[in-house]
Amino acid sequence: MADQPMPHIDQMLCFAVYAAGHAFTRFYKPRLDALDLTYPQYLVFLVLWERDDITVKALGDKLFLDSGTITPLIKRLEARGLVQRRRDEDDERQVRIRLTSEGRALEAKALAIPLAVVEGTGLSLQGAEALRRELLALRARLDGVEER
Amino acid sequence: MADQPMPHIDQMLCFAVYAAGHAFTRFYKPRLDALDLTYPQYLVFLVLWERDDITVKALGDKLFLDSGTITPLIKRLEARGLVQRRRDEDDERQVRIRLTSEGRALEAKALAIPLAVVEGTGLSLQGAEALRRELLALRARLDGVEER
DNA sequence: CACAATTAAATTGTGCACAATAGAATTTTG
DNA sequence: CAAAATTCTATTGTGCACAATTTAATTGTG
């Protein structure tokens, strides 16, 4: 029973992921302050700049977040005039999110951010490719094990 | 200027880290519910089981969190009788955190959790070693670039 | 010793993150 | 076509996470 002692926190993969996530948030903070966006808000815009007029559901699927997180976040962006929310005409259960012209214009300002990340960390998209793939595979495994 | 387009979210390392972190939290949830602990609370106990009678400052350094996060978390654990808080006698600016016997007893119950993680994900401590190292190095780089 | 600078914790306020629930619309089934 | 099941968003409540500020104690310097 006591064969397996409690592992130390420094040896645990989950903690390494947790700490790296916080570090990324802190790292982005000063850059995102220039756009007056939080990190999760920035992620939402990355999706919208890529695919505008998306439902809350589809956005949640993309970001692996639920509506309880996304709804208030989007409402704050709507209050600032960066996005619009409206019910889908065909299926009124769905709410579609669209960029306003102000929200679309943010993209130009945001272009400096990924450049700053590459410069600041020495991480190129290709250089971190293997790490990224492993993390996505890990996420899929963690979320997929639910049904057992 | 437009040489570098906005990268897609699926290509970004920061998002892979972010999503894997949430997936870990979700994965631990049902296991930690058995102990009535949240994931950050579990991390605090991992530290305390390893090194009891630690200051808030040292705990924050270990977990990369500040007192604004730790203080209310610890107070909730104190209210449940799992830890004790008291001022250091030599330096009264510091608050030391100690396990109660109940808090210490939790460790025995918690031993099942790392086993479940290994079983559920197929991740052994050794198997994930390279990934863990890369993430810790990444965290250090992200937190270290602050001064420029 | 006295006064300034530093250190440490707590407090306050904003914003995620998710579980649980509710409510409305659509789809399925008999 | 009507009732039941499903799908989707919103709401409520709890708990991080961090910035900024406040308060208290310690350390350093003359």
By CA distance, what is A14's nearest residue in B?
Answer: B24
pTM over 0.85, yes/no: yes
**First CA to last CA distance, chain A:** 24
Tens of pLDDT, residues A10-47: 989 999 999 999 999 999 998 999 999 999 999 999 99
Compute the mean pLDDT over every residue in chain B, rounded to the nearest whole number.
88
Beta bridge partners of A97: A54, A85
Give the CA A15 to C1' D17 distance in Å: 16
Q: What are phi and psi of A85, to 5 degrees?
A: -115, 135
Beta-carbon-side half-sphere exposure of residue A10 (alpha carbons within 13 Å): 6
pLDDT at residue B116, rounded to an integer: 85
How is B28-44 classified by DSSP, letter by letter? HHHHHHTTT--HHHHHH
Tens of pLDDT, residues B72-81: 999 999 999 9
Helix (H) or strand (E) holding B14: helix B13-33
Q: Choose the closest CB to A139 out of B23, B141, B145.
A: B23
Q: Which residue has the tokens 């490719």?
A: A129
Tens of pLDDT, residues B113-134: 998 888 877 776 666 888 999 9
Which residues does chain A have within 8 Å of residue B19's beta carbon, measured at their own beta carbons? 63-64, 135-136, 139
Question: Environment class of residue B82 by beta-carbon count within 10 Å: exposed (0-12), middle (13-18) or buried (19+)?
Answer: buried
Which residues does chain B have within 8 Å of residue A121's beta carbon, measured at their own beta carbons? 138, 141-142, 145
Whether A134 has a pLDDT exceeding 80, the answer reads yes
More confident residue, B84 or A120: B84
Q: Choose the closest CB to B135 out of A16, A28, A65.
A: A16
Compute the mean pLDDT over every residue in chain A, rounded to the nearest whole number.
88
| The token pair that represents A43 in the structure block | 């992620």
A105 interfaces chain B, CB cutoff of 8 Å: no
How is A98-148 classified by DSSP, letter by letter? EE-HHHHHHHHHHTHHHHHHHHHH---TTTTHHHHHHHHHHHHHHHHTT--
Give the CA A68 to C1' C12 distance in Å: 24
CB-based contact B21 A21, cutoff 8 Å: yes
Whether B146 has a pLDDT exceeding 60, the answer reads no
Give the three-class secondary structure for A95.
strand
- The rounded distance, in Å, linking the Cα atoms of A25 and A21 is 6
Residues A35 and B139: beta-carbon distance below 8 Å: no
Beta bridge partners of B98: B84
Instruction: Compute the Cα dihedral for A106, A57, A17, B60 and give only its sign.
Output: positive
Put simply, the chain A residues between 66 and 95 with a CB less than 8 A from any chain B CB are none
pLDDT at residue B2, rounded to an integer: 47
**Strand D reaches within 7 A of the A93 CB:** yes
Q: What angle do CA A133, A134, A139 make, to 5 degrees?
A: 100
Instruction: Tell me the nearest-neighbour CA distance from B17 into chain A, angstroms.
Output: 6
Q: CA-CA distances (angstroms) from residue A17 to A22, A61, B13, B84, B123?
A: 9, 21, 12, 29, 14
pLDDT at residue B3, rounded to an integer: 55
Beta bridge partners of B57: none
Residues B63 and B71: beta-carbon distance below 8 Å: no
Beta bridge partners of B86: B96
Q: Running DSSP on this structure, what letter comes out for residue B125?
A: T
Of A53-62, A108-117, A130-139, B138-147, the least confident: B138-147
Which of B46, B39, B9 minimizes the C-alpha distance to A49? B9
